[in-house]
A and B are shown apart, each in its own frame.
Chain A
Amino acid sequence: MSTATLKKERIEQTPQTEQNIVFNSKSLNLWYGETHALKDINLAIPEKEITAIIGPSGCGKSTYLKTLNRMVDLVPSVKTSGDIEYRNRNILNKDFKVEELRTRVGMVFQKPNPFPKSIYENVAYGPKIHGIRSKKLLDEIVEKSLKDAYIWDEVKDRLKENAYGLSGGQQQRLCIARTLAIEPDVILMDEPTSALDPISTLKVEELVQKLKQDYSIVIVTHNMQQAARISDKTAFFLNGEVVEFNETETLFSNPTDQRTEDYITGRFG
């Protein structure tokens, strides 16, 4: 794509790390007021892999995800300690520019949240606020993003229509296309298929697996079979702690911690 220019610049901007780790949390603690929500998290998110985070409600998995793009800052009473290194830079440092972080780290939410605009505008929005004015370039970015999100064929004849007219599954893939349009380094997904029907879920799952060729993905999911199907590594969170972080196949076939075994076999949670 001609946005390759964009991509190239971005890659050059991205500091290279030795171990191909995108996010490295070191002794990360987080409190909501008095509530200790994340306890001493040490977790290294590998590049161009899918890392799944599973655990019962309230275990801290979404909180952890939201610390990775500092969305958790939006909660007034939040306090953190420890480090989260993104490409070897501590994003919890006060001088780290959160805007910069969020252009590198895209996020897809549980419920599809397209803007009340046309399909085209939804995707072009990000590149536009990043200063791209050329109609031709924007057209290319929109087409490429929609193609990469495997929704192009379904929407190419209705780009000017309002995104609300799409089905839930299509809206979610549109939101993924919107994320891809700014060419992030990492995509965070917070239960991206929990509001979708089974077929749409499978489409999004296939899409996620294709995206890992170019992006590093962290996905929070309640659906353990989904984690087993699509991820390379899985972290099991419980009561704000990481109980086990392992190759997905190992974690689901022969976990080392009894609490993991009890959770994934449905004995609690």
Chain B
Amino acid sequence: MVRENFEDQLNELKQRVFKMSEMAKTSLTKATYALEHQDSEQAQDVINQDEKINSIEDNINDDAIWLIAQQQPVAKDLRRLVMTLKATNDIERIGDLAVNISKSVIRIGKAELPEEKQQVLHTASVVKQMIDLVIDAYMSESIESAYEISRIDDQVDREYGESVEKLLKHMTEHPDEINPITQLAFISRYLERAADHVTNIAEGIIYLVKGKHVDLNT
């Protein structure tokens, strides 16, 4: 087979993107655990890990850019590399959002949170499910999973809207809890943003496979 070396390099890059997404998923899982147990130590751990995700993004992007210069890819090869550059950016942002959640968890500290916390935790579990799906879709280049992700994203958007509404209501009733509730509302927002980034990656998968741009984030 001609270009076996290039093929190997593309596969290797794909494996690294896979590892990077696993790391971002771990960060989000830990941040959610930190929220559930209001565990600042675990939250701090997520913040400390972020630098690693950032540096993996830089390495993958450097190599993808070099492959573009070196191999002058066209068609699906080119789309794969462009998609890689965009996807690593989204994964890195998911890592950042896990950091934001962790910072909020630290700010909340041991303050008592209202029952809406359970809904936010539920949203977090849905976002994790989306990440699992997008990793599978990326590895298998499955368009069906990519469209499934956009449907789940709609659910996340709805849950976010409901959480914020309830939290605002709670805030007016309990003005003394404004600080922790604001942080919880932020966390809800961060999760919704993370789901949008997952959806962006799903769009990238559709672009990779079909060569067409779709907007699933509507």
Q: Is the interface of B mostly helix, strand, loop or mixed?
A: loop
B71 and chain A: residue at smallest CB distance: A266
Q: How many B residues touch A, CB cutoff 8 Å? A: 14
A254 CB within 8 Å of chain B: yes
CA distance A265 to B3 in the complex (A): 9
Q: Determine whether the beta carbon of A268 is less than 8 Å from that of B75.
A: no
Which one of B72, B75, B212 contacts A261 once the chains associate, using CB atoms below 8 Å? Answer: B75
What A residues does B75 contact at CB under 8 A? 252-255, 261, 264-265
B3 and chain A: residue at smallest CB distance: A266
The residues in B between 71 and 88 inclusive whose CB is less than 8 angstroms from any CB of A are 72-79
Q: Determine whether the beta carbon of A253 is less than 8 Å from that of B72.
A: no
**B13 vs chain A, min Cβ distance (A):** 16
Given A261-B75, A261-B76, A264-B75, A254-B211 contact (CB < 8 Å): yes
CA distance A267 to B3 in the complex (A): 6
A78 CB within 8 Å of chain B: no
Q: Mark A248-261, 1 if CB is under 8 A from B, else 0.
A: 00001111000001
A59 CB within 8 Å of chain B: no
What B residues does A255 contact at CB under 8 A? 75
Which one of B1, B74, B211 contacts A264 once the chains associate, using CB atoms below 8 Å? Answer: B74
Q: Determine whether the beta carbon of B72 is less than 8 Å from that of A225.
A: yes
Q: Mark A228-269, 1 if CB is under 8 A from B, else 0.
A: 100000000000000000000000111100000100111111
CA distance A267 to B77 in the complex (A): 11
What A residues does B2 contact at CB under 8 A? 266-269
A155 CB within 8 Å of chain B: no
What A residues does B3 contact at CB under 8 A? 265-267
A101 CB within 8 Å of chain B: no
CA distance A261 to B77 in the complex (A): 10
Q: Determine whether the beta carbon of A267 is less than 8 Å from that of B211.
A: no
The residues in B between 195 and 218 inclusive whose CB is less than 8 angstroms from any CB of A are 211-212
CA distance A265 to B75 in the complex (A): 7
Which one of A254, A261, A266 contacts B6 once the chains associate, using CB atoms below 8 Å? Answer: A266
A224 CB within 8 Å of chain B: yes
Q: List 10 A-B contacts (CB under 8 A).
A: A224-B74, A228-B74, A252-B74, A253-B79, A254-B75, A261-B75, A261-B76, A265-B73, A265-B76, A266-B6
A255-B75, A261-B75, A267-B3 known; 18 other A-B pairs, CB under 8 Å? A224-B74, A228-B74, A252-B74, A252-B75, A253-B74, A253-B75, A253-B78, A253-B79, A261-B76, A264-B75, A265-B75, A265-B77, A266-B2, A266-B6, A267-B1, A267-B2, A268-B2, A269-B2
4 closest residue pairs by CB, A with B: A254-B211, A266-B3, A252-B74, A264-B74
- Using CB atoms and an 8 Å cutoff, list the residues of chain B in contact with chain A: 1-3, 6, 72-79, 211-212
